Structure 1
């Protein structure tokens, strides 16, 4: 199977999934998305090709080029479609439990090899394609935006300072997990998830994530000799 990357440019009306959101077009888009996910999982981005997606999805290669522009467009649209789900962050009634539930869910989603295969493949693709990287950034930006409600509710309950940066706190809670998963390649578990959440909460309580200017430390005056 060849790894065909060259493709004709997409026309102005050929944005992925831009025609008729329902009916046959929606089914076609879903079939193409599933084929891309399967291909990324089985072969990775370097081994994925338009021919593979065409054969797997049953959509003609000419149609794939016309509507998606080529391999990068297929990967980007698959990730865009994944971001159109109805996922919501936890709502337990306390920031500590919300953060723990969030980090535990993150750890669990990558602990299952079958469930983790597709997101791992998308992240790997982002290192090889600028467009895939942009799509991955948009996907996680939207995920973090949804998670900000966890922090905003905690602010209203008086658990943390009102000027806390919600996005920074949520990123800090999950960052240790992604470091282990994709940089040091160490295992993650529920204990680490709780530790990550508790560390971020402690930092928030200390005012680390507040958006107000921090006081500048003045140097101690030196005694005159």
Structure 2
């Protein structure tokens, strides 16, 4: 009696280079969303992506590195950096896009990954730091432009302002499990802007 087909038997060519990478990362997100981190395997990712397992291992050493890349790229693409030429609307758009992302199916998988046993894996613990660092780096120009336009005090610390913006959203999502929506986002943006305008988020001046 013949054995059933293995996942790799169903793999179909998806191209080379960027196409393969995109297919594998999309499959990783789909596996995370469908079954969570604990159930994710390289075999299943390869099967879903339509590639052979060896193709995946040539690019990623293990499932942790797969998850790191998939979530990093998803967050970068799903939370665009606005440029409305006004800091108030820029901050509001940043907060709203964060809410939309984190309350969607993939965003919920991100939250579950961060709070599951996966955080005990060094690579996944590092993922949290990388994700936040990446978001800060991408959004810093929003604050820099606002300072240049004179909408924010000189010396405003971009990272502190962005953390103040995101903090109430993440607090509701991760700590109190309260619902978040556009009102939550708008309130977070308003509070962060008020704190910045009051000078509470400015870098301390260096002593002469």
Same fold (TM over 0.5): yes
Quote the residue 1:45 is aligned against.
Answer: 37
- What aligned pairs does 1:139-218 form with structure 2 within 5 A after superposition? 139-213=131-205
- 1:100 equivalent to 2:129? Answer no
Q: Answer yes or no: is the 8 Å Cα contact 1:90–1:101 preserved in 2.
A: yes
Structure 1: give runs of 5+ residues left out of the alignment.
1-22, 215-225
Quote the residue 2:107 is aligned against.
Answer: 116
SS at match of 1:127: helix
Q: 1:84 to 1:203 in 2, by over 3 A?
A: closer
Distance apart, 1:95 and its partner CA: 1.8
SS at match of 1:150: helix
**Quick one: distance in 1 between partners of 2:191 and 2:78?**
28
Q: Answer yes or no: is the 8 Å Cα contact 2:79–2:97 preserved in 1.
A: no
SS at match of 2:38: helix
**Quick one: distance in 2 between partners of 1:49 and 1:134?**
20
Distance apart, 1:123 and its partner CA: 3.3
- 1:63 equivalent to 2:55? Answer yes
Distance apart, 1:37 and its partner CA: 0.8
SS at match of 1:82: helix
**Quick one: distance in 1 between partners of 2:57 and 2:163?**
37
Two-structure CA RMSD over aligned residues (Å) = 2.6
Task: Kindly indicate which of the two structures has a greater share of residues assigned to helix.
Answer: 2
Structure 2: give runs of 5+ residues left out of the alignment.
1-14
Distance apart, 1:71 and its partner CA: 1.4
Q: 1:152 to 1:81 in 2, by over 3 A?
A: closer
Aligned length: 192
- What aligned pairs does 1:10-29 form with structure 2 within 5 A after superposition? 24-29=16-21
Q: Deviations over 1:73-95 (max 9, x none)?
A: 22123234436649642222322
Distance apart, 1:115 and its partner CA: 5.0
Q: 1:165 to 1:103 in 2, by over 3 A?
A: same
Q: 1:108 to 1:86 in 2, by over 3 A?
A: closer
